[in-house]
Amino acid sequence: MQTPVFMPVGTLATVKAMTPQEVAALPASILLCNAYHLMLRPGSEIVARCGGLHRFMGWSGLILTDSGGFQIFSLRQLMRIDDQGVAFRSHVDGSAHTLDPERAMAVQAELGSDIAMVLDHCPPSDAPRDQVLDALQRTTRWAKRCVDQPRPAHQARFGIVQGGLDLDLRRQHIAQIVEVGFDGYALGGFSVGESPEQMAEALDAVAHLLPADRPRYLMGVGRAEDLVRAISAGIDMFDCVMPTRNARNGQLFTSRGRIVISNARFRDDPEPVDAACACPTCQTYSRAYLRHLYVCKEILYSRLATIHNLHYTVDLVRQARLAIAAGNFAEFERRFFAARVQDDE
């Protein structure tokens, strides 16, 4: 893959509302699946018996699997964490499970992904410093256990840096995780409650400390403005559910900002979502038609809106990549922010 790159999210081995062929046509070269969710449904052993995740879902590109660290954060009311691992109740059926570094890597080996993420402990952005320190130290201990586990010959492993908004802790943890040694490095614990300005300030302070000869991955960030700022700070890889989730909820991305398609002003609007967009949705359908589908709760709306939002996001990062290659990223960044309008919905 060429970086910077945006990875569409296919949590359950599917990018919602899209076929793998449509995702590839965006074009997307890599997508993200979630080992925690696939461990519960259908089970990593079933995926392995079906030939691995690529064959199971009919995807010929690259796959990165997240280990479940974010679910420890987002579903923490169902979990109990200690140095050994995580004991939790399934959000699906309430059944009891455990997830530790050894199990996290074994599941991802069965799935056969191309990039496996270590198991990490992600604290809330407003957690006290002692809790953030405890989480990052546990993440380091878990990372060392992860690298000791067997893996498929083709599978790369990425370490994850925690530390919240405490820049000293971020720097400390970068040094620890780099010392363990990984094929790539991720910044976790962002976009979990802090402001965009706080995240941008932290990225400017620490992203360049990650090894320059390894991919730098910012986990869970997908707002257009945040993507451009993070690329400027030196980030290579991104993933986020925003393009698909926001599409289904009626929010569409454009070069001038976001629009809410349910607004009455789009009832008879013959224009495409974004005149500057080359996606199949914008080349064929009007805002009025998309609003009609959304108001009527037609399934086709979710498909057309998802195609547009993902195309916009993937293409934005592609344009940034081309600007870097041409040596004019600063001008690209200036024009991007100049085009955003004040009444962004």
The pLDDT, as a whole number, for residue 218 is: 98
Whether residues 123 and 207 fall in one domain: yes
Instruction: Kindly indicate the confidence band of residue 193, based on its pLDDT and cuts at 50, 70 and 90.
Output: confident
The pLDDT, as a whole number, for residue 12 is: 97
Residue 345 lies in a domain: no
Nearest to 159 by CA among 110, 203, 219, 236: 219
Q: What percent of the chain has pLDDT over 70?
A: 99
Which residue in 120, 239, 274, 315 is the catalytic one? 239
Whether residues 29 and 166 fall in one domain: yes
Least confident of 71-80, 207-216, 232-241: 71-80
Q: What percent of the chain has pLDDT over 90?
A: 90
Q: What is the CATH number of the domain that holds 30?
A: 3.20.20.105
Phi-psi label, residue 97: left if phi above 0, alpha if psi -120 to 50, beta otherwise: beta
- Whether residue 282 has pLDDT greater than 90: yes
Whether residues 231 and 333 fall in one domain: no
- Whether residue 343 has pLDDT greater than 60: no
Whether residues 258 and 234 fall in one domain: no
| CA separation for the pair 47, 56 (Å, rounded) | 6
- Whether residue 72 has pLDDT greater than 80: no
> What's the whole-model pTM score?
0.96
Whether residues 174 and 291 fall in one domain: no
The pLDDT, as a whole number, for residue 126 is: 82
Give the total number of structural domains in the chain: 2
- Whether residue 125 has pLDDT greater than 90: no
The pLDDT, as a whole number, for residue 233 is: 98
What does the pLDDT average to over 196-218?
97
Whether residues 90 and 136 fall in one domain: yes
- 343 catalytic? Reply is no
The pLDDT, as a whole number, for residue 77 is: 78
Domain boundary among 203, 225, 240: 240
The pLDDT, as a whole number, for residue 75 is: 75
- Whether residue 31 has pLDDT greater than 60: yes
Domain boundary among 193, 215, 240: 240
DSSP state of 18: -
The pLDDT, as a whole number, for residue 115 is: 98
Which residue in 66, 100, 120, 274 is the catalytic one? 66
Residue 49 lies in a domain: yes
Q: CA angle 28-33-35, nearest 5°?
A: 160
Give the domain range for residue 105. 5-240
Chain segment 156-181, per-residue pLDDT in tens? 999 999 999 999 999 999 999 999 99
Rounded to the nearest 10 degrees, the angle between the axes of helix 167-180 and helix 196-206 is: 50
Whether residues 81 and 135 fall in one domain: yes
Whether residues 223 and 306 fall in one domain: no
Instruction: Kindly indicate the confidence band of residue 344, based on its pLDDT and cuts at 50, 70 and 90.
Output: low
Residue 10 lies in a domain: yes
Whether residues 218 and 300 fall in one domain: no
The pLDDT, as a whole number, for residue 74 is: 74
Whether residues 277 and 335 fall in one domain: yes
Whether residues 313 and 219 fall in one domain: no
- Whether residue 342 has pLDDT greater than 70: no
- 148 catalytic? Reply is no
Phi-psi label, residue 115: left if phi above 0, alpha if psi -120 to 50, beta otherwise: beta
Residue 344 lies in a domain: no
Domain boundary among 206, 240, 274: 240
> Which residues, 6+ apart, have CB-to-CB distance to 29 below 8 Å?
1, 2, 5, 61, 62
Whether residues 289 and 150 fall in one domain: no
- Whether residue 52 has pLDDT greater than 70: yes
Instruction: Kindly indicate the confidence band of residue 266, based on its pLDDT and cuts at 50, 70 and 90.
Output: very high
| CA separation for the pair 4, 230 (Å, rounded) | 10
Least confident of 3-17, 225-239, 247-261, 328-342: 328-342
Residue 189 lies in a domain: yes
What does the pLDDT average to over 221-234?
98
What does the pLDDT average to over 184-213?
96
